[in-house]
Amino acid sequence: MTEPNSIFAEGITQDYLSQCFEYDPETGSLKWKRRPRSHFNTDMHFHTWNGRYPGREVGWVAKVGYKQTNLKGKKFYLHRIVWFMVYGYVPEQIDHINHDTLDNRAENLRPSDNTSNGHNQSMKRNNKSGVTGVFWCRRDACWWAYINKHGRRHFLGTFGDFELAVAARKKAEADMGFHKNHGRLSEKRRTNAKARSAL
């Protein structure tokens, strides 16, 4: 995931962020505080901003699915702001453990990199079997199981029984250190699926 900006590159500190935002650890939301005069270039900007934004929830949902906001004329993802406010540093990447990219509770975030992010991905939208890495091969009339790691596909076998194919895939995930949430539907897709089933 490409970040809009590094927080450190702009000289933004934990103290600066605590002057800007009220963080709710129960919901993961940020709200604007009344900000000090030192944050603004002019008196007019100071009074105008503080007459409009304090108490409002911070940010909007960007096209990539993460909430972001403007700060010091730059765009920042809210999960990176939250992490920095709570822990005082920003890792290379941050993973949303439950796959809900709008859930910015600190307990739902973990430091990550390309490899570990790849080990905790939501189920792909084109999946038809309901299990990542398991599909029905019409030609061979059996279930195939596979797993991808470091850009390579590892074939796990063919199975006459769906549950055996799933078991092979889950064992491979455990052996290769994949996160327990890997391959699950994202929170949004699970909610949509429940809504459709209730119709």
CATH number of the domain to which 105 belongs = 3.90.75
Question: Same domain for 183 and 101?
Answer: no
Question: Same domain for 29 and 77?
Answer: yes
pLDDT the model gives residue 2: 45
Question: Same domain for 124 and 81?
Answer: no
In terms of average pLDDT, the best of 27-41, 83-97, 127-141 is: 27-41
Question: Same domain for 105 and 141?
Answer: no
Q: Is the pLDDT of residue 123 over 80?
A: no
Question: Same domain for 13 and 110?
Answer: yes
pLDDT the model gives residue 183: 56
Residue 173 lies in a domain: yes
Question: Same domain for 31 and 107?
Answer: yes
Residues paired with residue 143 on neighbouring β-strands, in sequence order: 136, 159
pLDDT class for 197, splitting at 50, 70, 90?
very low
Regarding pTM above 0.75, the answer is: no
pLDDT class for 173, splitting at 50, 70, 90?
confident
Residue 176 lies in a domain: yes
Of 63, 92, 116, the one marking the end of a domain is 116
Instruction: Yes or no: say if 119 and 179 are a contact pair by the CB < 8 Å rule.
Output: yes
Measure the CA–CA gap between 24 and 93, rounded to whole angstroms: 22
Residue 3 lies in a domain: no
DSSP letter for 33, please. P
Question: Same domain for 75 and 33?
Answer: yes
Residue 19 lies in a domain: yes
Long-range Cβ contacts of 25-28 (<8 Å, 24+ apart): 25/105, 25/106, 25/107, 26/105, 27/105, 28/82, 28/103, 28/104, 28/105, 28/106, 28/108
Question: Same domain for 105 and 143?
Answer: no
| Pick from 3-17, 61-75, 156-170: least confident | 3-17
Range of the domain at 91: 8-116
Residue 177 lies in a domain: yes
Distance from the Cα of residue 64 to its chain's centroid: 10
Instruction: Yes or no: say if 91 and 83 are a contact pair by the CB < 8 Å rule.
Output: yes
Residue 2 lies in a domain: no
Of 101, 116, 131, the one marking the end of a domain is 116
pLDDT the model gives residue 117: 53
Of 116, 133, 162, the one marking the end of a domain is 116
Q: Is the pLDDT of residue 81 over 90?
A: yes
State mean pLDDT over 78-101: 91
pLDDT class for 50, splitting at 50, 70, 90?
very high
When divided into structural domains, the chain yields a total of: 2
Percent of residues, the chain, with pLDDT higher than 70: 77
Question: Same domain for 60 and 136?
Answer: no
pLDDT tens-digit profile of 135-162? 888 888 888 888 887 778 888 888 888 8
Question: Same domain for 106 and 46?
Answer: yes
Question: Same domain for 110 and 131?
Answer: no
The residue whose two tokens read 């490409």 is: 2
Q: Is the pLDDT of residue 116 over 70?
A: no
